[in-house]
């Protein structure tokens, strides 16, 4: 062969290649988001030795098993509290939470808002396929009205969460939404999140052709990507109250929130220093419980 | 599978595409979103029965690696061909 | 290794069981706790929240017990020794994460200051009705270790033991207090740090290339690495192979789950601690634990005053259960009397070990208070006939 053999797919060094091929369906968008993630890691020059990735349960939850990082596939909905403990115990770690909409916003919804309120220094990537996929296409708190799911066979009628609005209200310092069509913008958003201290939330609208699109007669993954291309509108700084999703309507994408406020550990330190003065002993950076 | 072809006419390839045929699940993302329509799904099958893409217009490849960024199966990527006079390619999606 | 003196409040104190438990955790090297307020356990983390910033560690109050019970596990993988504290309703919520800790072999301690249940039950009053939940509460097959202190001093001493066992076996350890022991104030002697033995994390010394996160070398307990050290390991609650990768086959399930069970079962004799008194000559053996053992002691003394030959077996580890010891005794004695603040939990385990060789009599109590010594005495008298 030729010189090309020496080059590799830029995502490859971030993957547990011994676990490839992955389980995701043809046309599923989750793998695409991982490409953007890899590009963001390259661009941000994040030290991979001190980067940990935490997932919950679901199709996106499997990301943890495919990335060559310290990676934790936790319980359903609890990626954020696990990540919180990891970050608290070793503040030097850069901690990414990579999970799905059902995992983060339904069963894990309470943790999501509280971690944002506390401003824990976590980068949360929420792959939103608008449905529970791993379990077979049930309604999620993100499923848009009138969509058909296996548990709403006559159409959903529950109002859906507008996640950027929720996270904005809860206090996240960085909130953006892109789709899997916006691979470069997504990579940039992830890089921006890495540069920020505090709770960042990136929603990625992603196709689940197998369960969501097919049941709603929206075609395959490619049709969905074309829909994202046609119907997305970039509105940086859009009021998050106005970015809710509908079944077939416009998808407002962009960076909605980018603000600074002290993160949990800075606030904790400041409070202790103020109240305890010299009696405060900061947790040793590499506290060793080993022999 | 490695493809390396240089120009036809006055067009010169600025990038080259590599395809790991066996990983491909034929979603068509790379074909559809290549800004210069370098790729097409081939009629051949891989061992899982999918039609992987192949390069039909190598000379048009800018090496932008959008195909690589879109591919959900990590089956395709592109690199730029180092060329002193190569001008910066637009090849983005913005 | 010896305890880090920063965490050891050497001296003689007059404190309650909850506070003693907190001091035990600090002495054992716990530098992280995640909690959620619940009576009658909250004093443990209240004290921890006050103490830990002066010792070098973190307390975080989470939004619920589901969060607390997994946050602590994140902290363990980040390198800390960590625990959480709760009572019945919160303990119920933590069950999934006890299973996660068992499956991922995350060394940690769950303190349950037992109160009356089911449901909200009796928030301020004692019970011992979570004993089976501690053993079986999470789904699937797994083993845990559970300890039952009966005094504030033991709340201190055994909390250290709980952390040590958690580290040695990479298993979640249940620290089964009860409301009375938690709120009882007594003298607690905290020795100097150099007299406190602390089991360090079983951290790997292998190179990144050679490290297998769930590989074992004979003793069935794998070596750990922490996030941020370059090992780039994977941890999952799915059935996994030695690399930590999901491997959901019946063969892998058999291998993994049996190892998780056997690492405790084969060491059960070594783990089991109990207090015994006059078992050799006993006709009746009173088996008790926690606060009930103190009431039982009074009953035993009264029975002996009447000339009855009564032996005492106090469970300090409830799980693993000292089945072998009970089976040995079963052929020598007439009866086992088992008082507990529940309607029959550990008594079933006694009965199983006795296997029909002697009588097993429960002295049950629905909780909310403790037995009167007479109730236990009468049963002893009855059983010795
Ligand atoms: S079920 Fe849907 S979300 Fe899950 S892998 Fe398949 S396409 Fe992706
Ligand atoms: S690198 Fe860019 S131009 Fe070349 S095939 Fe890929 S998408 Fe098309
Ligand atoms: S994007 Fe990847 S999986 Fe899809 S057709 Fe192209 S090479 Fe195949």
Give C343 to chain A, closest Cα distance, Å. Answer: 33
Give B27 to chain A, closest Cα distance, Å. Answer: 5
Q: Do C339 and C353 form a contact (C-beta atoms < 8 A)? A: no
Question: Is it the case that residue B92 has pLDDT exceeding 50?
Answer: no
DSSP reduced 3-state for C30: strand
Question: Is it the case that residue A3 has pLDDT exceeding 80?
Answer: no
Quote the ligand 3 centre to A26 CA distance (angstroms): 9
Among A220, A215, A185, A221, smallest CA distance to A203 is for A185
Percentage of residues in chain A having pLDDT higher than 70: 95
Question: Assign residue C210 a region: left if phi > 0, alpha if psi is -120 to 50, beta otherwise?
Answer: alpha
- Tell me the CA distances in angstroms from C96 to A48, C70, C100, C136, C177, one per residue in order: 30, 9, 6, 11, 21
Over range C20-24, report the average pLDDT: 98
Determine whether the interchain pair A89/C76 forms a contact, defined as Cβ–Cβ distance below 8 Å. yes
Lowest mean pLDDT among A287-291, C119-123, C126-130, C222-226: A287-291
- For C12, the token pair is 């003689």
Report how far residue C108's alpha carbon sits from residue C87's, in angstroms, rounded to the nearest whole number.
17
Determine whether the interchain pair C70/A289 forms a contact, defined as Cβ–Cβ distance below 8 Å. no
**Residue C100 structural domain:** 11-195
Question: What atom in ligand 3 is closest to the CA of residue B76?
Answer: 7
Q: Are residues C159 and C305 in the same domain?
A: no
> CB-based contact (8 Å) between B23 and chain A?
yes
Quote the ligand 3 centre to A42 CA distance (angstroms): 22
Which residue has tokens 């996994």? C240
Give C59 to chain A, closest Cα distance, Å. Answer: 9
Which residue has tokens 């079944």? A247
Question: Is it the case that residue A94 has pLDDT exceeding 60?
Answer: yes
Write out pLDDT tens, residues B17-36. 999 999 999 999 999 999 99
Give A217 to chain C, closest Cα distance, Å. Answer: 33
- Tell me the CA distances in angstroms from A206 to A45, A67, A234, one per residue in order: 26, 19, 16
CATH number of the structural domain spanning residue C336: 3.40.50.920
CATH number of the structural domain spanning residue C73: 3.40.50.970
Report how far residue C186's alpha carbon sits from residue C20's, in angstroms, rounded to the nearest whole number.
10
| H-run or E-run covering B17 | strand B15-19
B27 lines ligand 3 (CB under 6 A): yes
Over range C77-91, report the average pLDDT: 98
Q: Are residues C191 and C286 in the same domain?
A: no
Cis peptide before A189 (omega within 30 of 0): no
pLDDT score, position B11: 77
Determine whether the interchain pair A184/B92 forms a contact, defined as Cβ–Cβ distance below 8 Å. yes
Question: Is it the case that residue B90 has pLDDT exceeding 60?
Answer: no
Q: Which of C54, C58, C79 lies at the smallest CB-CB distance from A289?
A: C79
Give chain A as a 3 state SS string: CCHHHHCCCCCHHHECHHHCCCCCCCCCCHHHHHHHHHHHHHHHCCCHHHEEEEECCCCHHHHHHHECCEEEECCCCCHHHHHHHHHHHCCCCEEEEEEEHHHHHHHCHHHHHHHHHHCCCEEEEEEECCCECCCCCECCCCCCCCCCCCCCCCCCCCCCCCHHHHHHHHCCCEEEEEECCCHHHHHHHHHHHHHCCCCEEEEEECCCHHHHHHHCCCCCHHHHHHHHHHHEEECCCCCHHHCCCCCCCCEEEEEEEECCCCCHHHHHHHHHHHHHHHHCCCCCCCCCCEC
Determine whether the interchain pair B29/A182 forms a contact, defined as Cβ–Cβ distance below 8 Å. no
Report how far residue C131's alpha carbon sits from residue C129's, in angstroms, rounded to the nearest whole number.
6
Ligand 1-lining residues (CB < 6 angstroms): A 24-25, 28, 30, 59, 129, 133, 208-211
Task: For residue A278, give every residue at least 6 positions away whose Cβ sits within 8 Å of its Cβ, in sequence order, or none.
Answer: none
Long-range contacts of B31-35 (CB under 8 A, 24+ apart): B32/A222, B32/A225, B32/A226, B33/A181, B33/A225, B33/B66, B33/B67, B33/B70, B33/B93, B34/B66, B34/B67, B35/B62, B35/B64, B35/B66, B35/B90, B35/B91, B35/B92, B35/B93
- For C187, the token pair is 């003298």
Which chain B residue's Cα is nearest to A28? B72
Residues of chain B contacting A180 with CB distance shorter than 8 Å: 70
Write out pLDDT tens, residues A205-237. 999 999 999 999 999 999 999 999 999 999 999
Where residue A148 falls among pLDDT bands split at 50, 70, 90?
very high
- Residue C353 CA to chain centroid, in angstroms? 21
Write out pLDDT tens, residues C361-374. 999 999 999 999 99
> CB-based contact (8 Å) between B44 and chain A?
no
Q: Report A:161-180 residues touching B (Cβ under 8 A).
A: 180
Over range C3-14, report the average pLDDT: 97
CA angle A259, A265, A269 (to 5 degrees): 120
pLDDT score, position A5: 43
Report how far residue C186's alpha carbon sits from residue C320's, in angstroms, rounded to the nearest whole number.
28
ipTM of the complex: 0.97
Which chain C residue's Cα is nearest to A51? C228
Question: Is it the case that residue C29 has pLDDT exceeding 50?
Answer: yes
**Residue B30 structural domain:** 15-81
Report how far residue C275's alpha carbon sits from residue C289's, in angstroms, rounded to the nearest whole number.
10
Report how far residue C371's alpha carbon sits from residue C174's, in angstroms, rounded to the nearest whole number.
24
CA-proximal residue: ligand 1, atom 5 (nearest): A24
pLDDT score, position B83: 65
C and B touching (3 or more beta-carbon pairs closer than 8 Å)? no
Cβ–Cβ contacts within 10 Å for residue A218, how many? 16
Q: Do C76 and C50 form a contact (C-beta atoms < 8 A)? A: no
In a domain, B33, yes or no: yes
pLDDT score, position A289: 72
B76 lines ligand 2 (CB under 6 A): no
Determine whether the interchain pair C75/A85 forms a contact, defined as Cβ–Cβ distance below 8 Å. yes
DSSP H helix total and E strand total for chain C = 13, 16
Report how far residue B83's alpha carbon sits from residue C75's, in angstroms, rounded to the nearest whole number.
50
DSSP reduced 3-state for C52: helix
For an interface test with A, give the residue of B26, B74, B77 to mutate (most A CBs within 10 A).
B74
pLDDT score, position B6: 39
- Domain count within chain B: 1
> CB-based contact (8 Å) between A67 and chain B?
no
User: What's the residue count for chain C?
Assistant: 385
Which residue has tokens 């965490």? C7
Which residue has tokens 């910033």? C53
| Biggest distance spanned by C-alpha atoms of chain C | 69
pLDDT score, position B85: 52
Exposed, middle or buried, B88 (CB in 10 Å: 0-12/13-18/19+)? exposed
Q: Are residues C185 and C325 in the same domain?
A: no
In a domain, B72, yes or no: yes
- Domain count within chain C: 2
Quote the ligand 3 centre to B2 CA distance (angstroms): 15
Determine whether the interchain pair A290/C200 forms a contact, defined as Cβ–Cβ distance below 8 Å. yes
Question: Is it the case that residue C359 has pLDDT exceeding 60?
Answer: yes
Report field, pTM of the whole predicted structure over 0.90: yes
Residues of chain C contacting A19 with CB distance shorter than 8 Å: 245
Question: Is it the case that residue B94 has pLDDT exceeding 60?
Answer: no
Question: Is it the case that residue B3 has pLDDT exceeding 50?
Answer: no
Report how far residue C88's alpha carbon sits from residue C120's, in angstroms, rounded to the nearest whole number.
8
Determine whether the interchain pair B29/A222 forms a contact, defined as Cβ–Cβ distance below 8 Å. yes
Lowest mean pLDDT among A4-18, A101-115, C43-57: A4-18
Report the DSSP pairing between strands B39-41 and A174-179.
Answer: unpaired
Quote the ligand 2 centre to B41 CA distance (angstroms): 14
In a domain, C87, yes or no: yes
Report how far residue C87's alpha carbon sits from residue C179's, in angstroms, rounded to the nearest whole number.
9
Q: Do C148 and C290 form a contact (C-beta atoms < 8 A)? A: yes
| H-run or E-run covering C51 | helix C42-51
Domain final residue, candidates C142, C173, C195: C195
In a domain, C81, yes or no: yes
Q: Which of B72, B77, B79 lies at the smallest CB-CB distance from A29?
A: B72
Hey, which residues does A15 pair with through a beta bridge?
A67
Nearest bound ligand to the CA of residue B39: 2
Report how far residue C227's alpha carbon sits from residue C142's, in angstroms, rounded to the nearest whole number.
25
- Tell me the CA distances in angstroms from A218 to A31, A177, A186, A210, one per residue in order: 20, 21, 23, 11
Q: Are residues C23 and C162 in the same domain?
A: yes
Question: What atom in ligand 3 is closest to the CA of residue B67?
Answer: 1
Write out pLDDT tens, residues C286-313. 999 999 999 999 999 999 999 999 999 9
In a domain, C2, yes or no: no
Cβ–Cβ contacts within 10 Å for residue B23, how many? 21
- Residue C180 CA to chain centroid, in angstroms? 17
Write out pLDDT tens, residues C133-166. 999 999 999 999 999 999 999 999 999 999 999 9
pLDDT score, position A288: 65
In a domain, C266, yes or no: no
CATH number of the structural domain spanning residue B32: 3.30.70.3270
Q: Do A110 and C64 form a contact (C-beta atoms < 8 A)? A: yes
DSSP reduced 3-state for B1: coil
Cβ–Cβ contacts within 10 Å for residue C306, how many? 11
Task: For residue C50, give every residue at least 6 positions away whose Cβ sits within 8 Å of its Cβ, in sequence order, or none.
Answer: none
B34 lines ligand 2 (CB under 6 A): yes
Hey, which residues does C228 pair with through a beta bridge?
none
Mean pLDDT across chain C: 97
């Amino acid at each position: 062969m030729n010189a090309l053999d020496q080059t590799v797919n830029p995502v490859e060094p971030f993957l547990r290649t011994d676990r490839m091929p992955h389980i995701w369906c043809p046309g599923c968008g989750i793998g695409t988001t991982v490409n953007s993630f890899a590009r963001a890691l390259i661009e941000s020059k994040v030290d991979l030795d001190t980067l940990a990735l935490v997932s919950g349960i679901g199709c996106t939850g499997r990301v943890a098993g495919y990335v060559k990082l310290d990676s934790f596939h936790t319980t359903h909905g609890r990626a954020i509290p696990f990540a919180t403990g990891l970050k608290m115990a070793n503040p030097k770690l850069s901690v990414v939470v990579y999970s799905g909409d059902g995992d983060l916003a339904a069963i894990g919804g309470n943790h999501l808002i509280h971690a944002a309120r506390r401003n824990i220094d976590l980068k949360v990537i929420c792959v939103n396929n608008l449905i529970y996929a791993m379990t077979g296409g049930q309604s999620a708190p993100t499923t848009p009205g009138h969509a058909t799911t296996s548990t709403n066979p006559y159409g959903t009628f529950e109002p859906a969460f507008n996640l950027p609005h929720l996270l904005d209200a809860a206090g996240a310092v960085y909130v953006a939404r892109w789709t899997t069509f916006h691979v470069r913008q997504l990579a940039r958003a992830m890089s921006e999140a890495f540069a920020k201290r505090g709770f960042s939330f990136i929603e990625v609208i992603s196709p689940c052709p197998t369960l969501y699109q097919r049941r709603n007669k929206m075609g395959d993954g490619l049709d969905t990507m074309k829909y994202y291309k046609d119907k997305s509108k970039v509105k940086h700084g859009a009021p998050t109250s106005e970015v809710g999703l509908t079944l077939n309507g416009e998808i407002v994408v962009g960076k909605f929130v980018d603000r600074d406020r002290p993160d949990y550990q800075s606030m904790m330190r400041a409070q202790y220093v103020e109240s305890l003065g010299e009696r405060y002993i900061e947790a040793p950076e590499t506290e060793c419980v080993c022999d | 599978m490695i493809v390396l072809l240089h120009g036809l006419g006055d067009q010169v390839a600025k990038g080259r595409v590599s395809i790991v045929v066996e990983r491909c699940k034929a979603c068509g993302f790379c074909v559809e979103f290549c800004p210069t329509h370098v790729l097409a799904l081939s009629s051949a099958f891989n061992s899982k029965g999918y039609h992987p893409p192949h390069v039909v217009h190598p000379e048009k490849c800018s090496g932008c690696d959008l195909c690589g960024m879109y591919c959900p199966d990590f089956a395709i990527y592109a690199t730029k061909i180092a060329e002193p006079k190569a001008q910066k390619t637009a090849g983005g999606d913005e | 290794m010896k305890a880090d003196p920063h965490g050891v409040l050497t001296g003689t104190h007059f404190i309650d069981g909850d506070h003693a438990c907190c001091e035990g955790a600090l002495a054992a090297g716990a530098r992280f706790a995640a909690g959620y307020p619940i009576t009658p356990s909250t004093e443990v983390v209240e004290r921890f929240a006050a103490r830990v910033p002066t010792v070098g560690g973190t307390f975080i109050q989470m939004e619920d017990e589901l969060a607390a019970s997994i946050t602590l596990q994140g902290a363990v993988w980040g390198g800390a020794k960590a625990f959480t504290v709760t009572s019945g309703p919160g303990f119920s919520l933590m069950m999934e994460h006890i299973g996660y800790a068992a499956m991922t072999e995350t060394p940690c301690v769950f303190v349950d200051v037992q109160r009356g249940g089911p449901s909200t039950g009796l928030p301020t009053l004692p019970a011992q009705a979570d004993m089976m939940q501690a053993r079986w509460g999470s789904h699937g097959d797994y083993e845990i270790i559970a300890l039952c202190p009966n005094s504030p001093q033991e709340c201190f001493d055994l909390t250290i033991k709980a952390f040590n066992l958690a580290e040695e076996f990479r298993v979640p350890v249940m620290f089964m207090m009860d409301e009375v022991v938690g709120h009882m104030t007594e003298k607690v002697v905290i020795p100097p740090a150099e007299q406190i033995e602390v089991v360090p994390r079983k951290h790997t010394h292998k190179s990144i290339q050679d490290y297998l996160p769930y590989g074992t070398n004979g003793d069935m307990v794998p070596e750990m690495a922490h996030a941020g050290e370059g090992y780039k390991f994977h941890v999952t609650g799915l059935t996994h192979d030695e690399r930590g990768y999901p491997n959901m086959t019946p063969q892998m399930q058999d291998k993994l789950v049996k190892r998780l069970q056997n690492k405790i079962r084969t060491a059960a004799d070594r783990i089991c601690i109990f207090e015994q008194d006059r078992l050799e000559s006993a006709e009746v053996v009173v088996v008790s634990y926690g606060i009930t053992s103190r009431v039982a002691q009074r009953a035993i003394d009264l029975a002996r005053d009447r000339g009855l030959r009564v032996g005492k077996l106090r469970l300090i580890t409830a799980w693993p259960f000292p089945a072998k010891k009970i089976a040995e005794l079963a052929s020598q004695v007439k009866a086992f009397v088992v008082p507990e603040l529940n309607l029959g939990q550990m008594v079933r385990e006694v009965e199983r070990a006795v296997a029909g060789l002697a009588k097993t009599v429960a002295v049950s109590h629905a909780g909310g208070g403790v037995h009167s010594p007479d109730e236990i005495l009468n049963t002893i008298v009855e059983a010795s006939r």
